Amino acid sequence: MQRESMEYDVVIVGGGPAGLTAAIRLRQLAMAQKKELSVCVLEKGSEIGAHILSGAVIDPCSLDELIPDWREQDTLLTTEVSHDQVYFLQNKERAWQIPTQFVPASMQNRGNYIASLGNLCRWLSERAEALEVEIFPGFAAAEVLYGEHAEVAGVITGDMGLAEDGSKKPSFEPGMELRAKYTLFAEGARGHLGKQLIANYQLDAGAGAQHYGLGLKELWDCDPQKHQQGLVIHGSGWPLSESGSGGGFFLYHHENNQISVGLIVDLNYQNPHVNPFEEFQRLKQHPLLKDYLTGGRRVGYGARVINKGGFHALPTMHMPGALLIGCDAGTLNYAKIKGTHTAMKSGMLAAETVFDALSEDEQGGKDLQAYAERFKASWLCDELYRSRNFGSALKKWGLYLGGAYNYLDQTLFGGKFPLDLQDDREDRETLKEVADCKQINYPKPDGVISFDRLSSVYLSNTSHEEDQPCHLRLQDRDIPLVINLGHYDAPEQRYCPAGVYEIIEQGEGPQLQINAQNCIHCKTCDIKDPNGNITWMTPEGGGGPNYPNM
């Protein structure tokens, strides 16, 4: 197809913390050295922040490096963490608070801020625009554009105005080529193009398997009497412990009497009956959490996967003409459940690498090994190395032992306990047959603390153009019924936090119905389908959730 084309020095895919930080840094360097350098950021959400979902407790160290005077400029991050509490939930009633002296250093948050990452991104995007970065929300990078020498030469934006059957509607607009000397991929966890690049360039050769957790989150307006601005609560145990699954919850007291509460469910769970959404709903019924929520009003819902593989799973982050940054590469520090400062740092490192490369040679298209060197020399590498075993320890040895290991490692050895733990099965390989697993009976929602999935999705303000090709592609149309339904009772019905997949009985027997318009772009199905049969593709730009303050 003949496509229009536009050229930039650097194209950045994804307007999250990594992408925006890289854009800002590139333009800062260009301005400081009075160089011409064109930078654009593509964002599939309808606006910057629309697809950002995070906790978030944010370590400001990278923001300090990027915009040292941010504290003077704006009232951006205002809620400093005042207390940290860590709990172990023994069952649906009891909670055991871990004494402060035993809380791993990585879980202590003094000096960090509680904030909406989406709003931080909105702020960063204003900064970037002031530095003449072109930001294009509503445009997804749908394909990688390769050059003559198999280098990445940019991206192609998604076609707009295709009908469900793939035919062109009157409003059809073909996607455009955005050509760049260097392209930075900052799509966040399980990037759709990042995944392809990792496969194409075999970037994961030698790296451990990447693991993921599904993070579900709600935002509540809460009773001012119960609100303790600055309080941060983390915990694990019940209810996931009932099915032997891993994960943990968080509850942060933001400003304006708001609370964000969430559960991260490790996607290496084995029991196909597990329903992460329902686990989250029943978690909120635990008195520890329920107390804070009672009298409040739920105002937001969303979900997004989070990388857990850490250091071991980091792929090679450079390839000809492109770099992977932030969670697209997997720079999250799972010991701290923080990926913002690390994503930002990787964005800065990438920007500096690219800027140097373009200063030396205007051609572009090179494989920038220098990025790896910069990474190794940075605090980022050190930080990820120190927490390399956190997730795997919990996974391998369970909560008690793993927790003890983590405590020892993180607190006494500063993360340098001389042992490497790795976990090499992919998350999709862990499901057991349904016959071998215990049914889980989830309680019905009460409509006050717990809710059903569809009324939750409603709060994510999700929408997609209705008449477009389904963006959730099945490689094999038979697998959902023959394998998934037969062996695992169709786990996609349960793991999807938006109820996109439904098995319906209709005439000729069960069928898989895909309600793609509900998709909140969390990427779980792309990870957890037992045969890797589902591929998440970019829908028409601007589609997806519209999170206001997540």
Partner 1 sequence: MTVLVIAEHNNSELNAATLAAITAATQLKDAVNLLIAGSGCSSVAEAAAKVQGVSRVLLADAPAYEHQLAENVAPLVVRLAEGHTHLLMPATTNGKNLMPRVAALLDVAQISDIIAIKSTDCFQRPIYAGNVIATVQSKDSLKVVTVRATAFEPAIAEGGNAMIDQVEASGDLELCRWERDDVTESTRPDLAQAEVVVSGGRGLGSAENFQLLEALADKLGAAIGASRAAVDAGFVSNDLQVGQTGKVVAPKLYIAVGISGAIQHLAGMKESKVIVAINKDEDAPIFQIADYGIVGDLFDILPALSAELDRSVN
Partner 2 sequence: MKVLVAVKRVVDYNVKVRPNGDGSDVEIANAKMSMNPFDEIAVEEAVRMKEAGTATEVVAISLGEAACQDVVRTALAMGMDRGVLVETDARLEPLTVAKLLAAIVKREQFDLVILGKQAIDDDSNQTGQMLAALLGWPQGTFASHVVVDDDRVQVTRETDTGSQTLSFKLPGVVTSDLRLNEPRYVKLPNIMKAKKKHLEKITPLELDVDISTHLETIAVAEPTQRSGGIKVSDAKELVDKLRNEARVI
Ligand X SMILES: Cc1cc2nc3c(=O)[nH]c(=O)nc-3n(C[C@H](O)[C@H](O)[C@H](O)COP(=O)(O)OP(=O)(O)OC[C@H]3O[C@@H](n4cnc5c(N)ncnc54)[C@H](O)[C@@H]3O)c2cc1C
Known catalytic residue at 470: no
DSSP structure class, residue 443: P
Q: Which listed option, partner 2, partner 1, ligand SF4, none, makes contact with residue 116 (CB within 5 to 8 Å by class)?
A: partner 2
| Enclosing H/E stretch for 525 | helix 524-528
Alpha-carbon dihedral sign for residues 153, 381, 264, 19:
negative
Q: How far is CA 483 from CA 230, 476, 491, 536, in A?
A: 47, 11, 11, 19
Smaller CB separation from ligand X, 135 or 421: 135
Provide the minimum distance between the beta carbon of 173 and partner 2 in the complex, in angstroms, as a whole number: 5
Angle at 117 between CA 178 and CA 451, to 5 degrees: 110
Residue 242 φ/ψ region, left for φ over 0, alpha for ψ in the -120 to 50 degree band, beta for the rest = alpha
Give the binding range for ligand SF4 (CB under 6 A) out of 4-12, 281-289, 405-413, 519-527: 519-527
Q: What three-state secondary structure class fits 57?
A: strand
Give the binding range for partner 2 (CB under 8 A) out of 103-111, 166-174, 477-485, 513-521: 166-174
Residue 286 φ/ψ region, left for φ over 0, alpha for ψ in the -120 to 50 degree band, beta for the rest = beta
Site string for partner 1, 482-521 (x = CB under 8 A): ----------------------x-xx-----x-x-x----
Give the binding range for ligand SF4 (CB under 6 A) out of 78-86, 342-350, 367-375, 523-531: 523-531
Site string for ligand X, 326-345 (x = CB under 6 A): xxx---x----xxxxx-x--
Smaller CB separation from ligand X, 89 or 485: 89
Q: What three-state secondary structure class fits 160?
A: strand
The reply to whether 472 sits near ligand SF4 by the rule CB under 6 A is yes
Q: Among the options 54, 316, 331, 456, which is catalytic?
A: 54
Residue in 16, 17, 19, 49 binding partner 2, rule: CB under 8 A: 49
Q: Among the options 21, 353, 525, 538, which is catalytic?
A: 525
φ/ψ (deg, to 5) at 25 = -60, -40
Provide the minimum distance between the beta carbon of 509 and partner 1 in the complex, in angstroms, as a whole number: 13
Provide the minimum distance between the beta carbon of 441 and partner 1 in the complex, in angstroms, as a whole number: 14
The reply to whether 402 sits near ligand X by the rule CB under 6 A is no
Known catalytic residue at 381: no
Within residues 519-548, the interface with partner 2 by CB under 8 A covers 546, 548
Instruction: Looking at 45-177, list the stretches that DSSP marks H as alpha helix, in order from N- to C-terminal side.
Output: 61-66, 70-73, 117-130
**Residue 322, both tokens:** 């492109």
Give the binding range for ligand SF4 (CB under 6 A) out of 102-110, 251-259, 473-481, 520-528: 520-528
Distance of CA 209 to the CA centre of its chain: 17
Q: Enumerate the β-bridge partners of residue 297.
A: 221
Give the binding range for ligand X (CB under 6 A) out of 14-22, 204-212, 492-500, 502-510: 14-22
Give the binding range for partner 2 (CB under 8 A) out of 10-18, 157-165, 303-311, 392-400: 157-165
Residue in 12, 186, 525, 550 binding ligand SF4, rule: CB under 6 A: 525
Q: Which listed option, partner 2, ligand X, ligand SF4, none, makes contact with residue 461 (CB within 5 to 8 Å by class)?
A: partner 2
Known catalytic residue at 304: yes
Identify the CA nearest to 334 among candidates 256, 248, 273.
Answer: 248
| Enclosing H/E stretch for 398 | helix 390-407
Radius of gyration, CA atoms only, the chain: 22
The reply to whether 295 sits near partner 2 by the rule CB under 8 A is no
| Enclosing H/E stretch for 169 | strand 168-173
Q: What three-state secondary structure class fits 159?
A: coil
Residue in 523, 533, 549, 550 binding ligand SF4, rule: CB under 6 A: 523
The reply to whether 542 sits near ligand X by the rule CB under 6 A is no
Identify the CA nearest to 536 among candidates 464, 465, 491, 472.
Answer: 472
E-assigned strand segments in 317-402: 318-319, 322-324
In one letter, which amino acid is 121?
C
φ/ψ (deg, to 5) at 293 = -90, -25
**Residue 142, both tokens:** 């749908």
Q: Which listed option, ligand X, ligand SF4, partner 1, none, makes contact with residue 327 (CB within 5 to 8 Å by class)?
A: ligand X
Q: For residue 482, what are the contacts with CB-CB under 8 A and spacing of at least 6? A: none
Q: Confirm if 505 and 481 have CB atoms less than 8 A apart.
A: no
The reply to whether 515 sits near partner 2 by the rule CB under 8 A is no
The reply to whether 461 sits near partner 2 by the rule CB under 8 A is yes
Known catalytic residue at 340: yes
Q: Among the options 316, 340, 346, 456, which is catalytic?
A: 340
| Enclosing H/E stretch for 292 | helix 287-293
Residue in 449, 496, 512, 550 binding ligand SF4, rule: CB under 6 A: 496
Smaller CB separation from ligand SF4, 67 or 519: 519
Binding site for partner 1 (CB under 8 A): 444, 452, 454-455, 458, 463, 466, 504, 506-507, 513, 515, 517
Binding site for partner 2 (CB under 8 A): 4, 6, 46-47, 49-50, 116, 118-119, 122, 134, 136, 138-139, 157, 160-161, 170-171, 173, 176, 178, 221, 257, 299, 458-459, 461-463, 546, 548-549
